[in-house]
Each structure stands twice: as C-alpha cells, then as structure tokens.
Amino acid sequence: MGDKREISRRTFLNYALMGTGGFLAAGMITPMIRFAVDPLLQGHAGGDKVAVGSPDEFGPEPKRVEFKVHTKDGWYESESTLSAWITKNDKGEILALSPICKHLGCTVNWNESADHPNQYFCPCHLGRYTINGEHILGTPPTASLDEYETEVKDGKLYLGKVKANPRPGVNG
C-alpha cells in the first residue's frame, strides 16, 4: 500500500510538453479538416432542373431558348447562361438538344446554311446534324448532338442534365 510511484521532473516535463503540443496541433488541424469537409456537408438549394417555358410554346420547328443555371463547385458559386434547341413532335414528345457541336465545341444553328436547309449547321467546320440531332456522316462531327433531360410538370417544361444522344449518324 505504500508503493507510491513518483514522477521525476524530466518525465513530468515530457508529459506537459506532449500534452501542450498535442492540444496546439489539434487546434491547428481542426479548422483545416473543417475547411476541407465543409462543402460536402452543405445542402444544395433548388433542384437540378430549370423551367424554360410552357410546352405549348414549342412545335415541330426548332426554337432556341436560353436559361440560367446556378453552379456550385466547393466554395465557388456562379451563374451560367446555357441554351437549347427545343422541338415537339406530333405525338407531343419534346426533344431538347445542346447547341454545342461535337466536333470542336462551336455553336450550331438551325436552318442557317442555304445549301443544307432544315438542318443544324456548324459554321466553324461545316458540320451538319438532322432535326433530331443525328450527325450526318461524312461531315466533321463524329457524334450526335447531346440532349437535355426533359420533364413537363405543372404546365412548365423543365430541362435537366445533358446526356449523350443515343441516335447514330445518318447519311445526308
């Protein structure tokens, strides 16, 4: 019962310095971890789809619409303006195409070329696409125009993320 262990001054100083150093290190590392993990813990406001108008506004002739998308990348937030070519067929099916050419990223326009009417035309390298976004074989693009996800809800047309167009190229 009388075995009381005494700590030497050197051992006490080692314990005190290690405890103080650990406390200071934890104080410096905790904000760094919080800074790195915080964007993952934040909730995202809004949905992934943007309203671009009423489905009744669109018909068989492609109509270009512009819309703003809020983008958040970590701590950097920005608002980008995007556009889409939208058509609606006789069955009421809506197709929204990205205007970005799959060759080198130029912007395509509908019915712009007098030599190739009723086609999307890329003036940069003479790329052409059909009304459904299919690339015309023998022109520079090697893939069809991308599509936006579409949804009709409460009388409004919403566009979502861009996805690859599954349609193959066609002879033109």
Q: Tell me what the mean pLDDT of segment 143-167 comes to.
A: 89
β-strands 109-110, 50-53 pairing:
unpaired
How many residues can be counted in the chain?
A: 172
Angle at 69 between CA 42 and CA 58, to 5 degrees: 140
Q: Return d(Cα 102, Cα 135) in angstroms, integer.
A: 9
Which strands make up the sheet holding 94-97, listed edge to edge?
Answer: 50-53, 156-163, 147-153, 94-97, 76-88, 63-73
In this prediction, residue 113 carries a pLDDT of 80
pLDDT at 44: 52
Quick check: is 110 in a domain?
yes
CA distances from 18 to 9, 25, 28, 116 (A): 14, 10, 15, 78
Q: Is residue 40 predicted with pLDDT exceeding 80?
A: no
The domain of 82 spans 48-161
Is residue 125 one of the residues assigned to a domain? Answer: yes
- Judge if 34 and 103 occupy the same domain: no
Asked whether residue 118 falls in the same domain as residue 150, the answer is yes
State the pLDDT at residue 76. 76
How many domains would you assign to the chain?
2
Claim to verify: residue 62 and residue 136 sit in the same structural domain: yes
Residues 94 and 141 grouped into a single domain: yes
Q: Give the amino acid at 106.
A: C
Question: Bigger pLDDT: 95 or 76?
Answer: 95
What's the CA gap between 107 and 117, in Å, rounded?
Answer: 17
Give the per-residue pLDDT at 84.
Answer: 92
Q: Are residues 54 and 23 in the same domain?
A: no
In terms of Cα–Cα distance, which of 137, 164, 167, 162 is closest to 148? Answer: 162
Taking residues 123-127, report their average pLDDT. Answer: 87
Instruction: Determine, yes or no, domain membership for 169.
Output: no
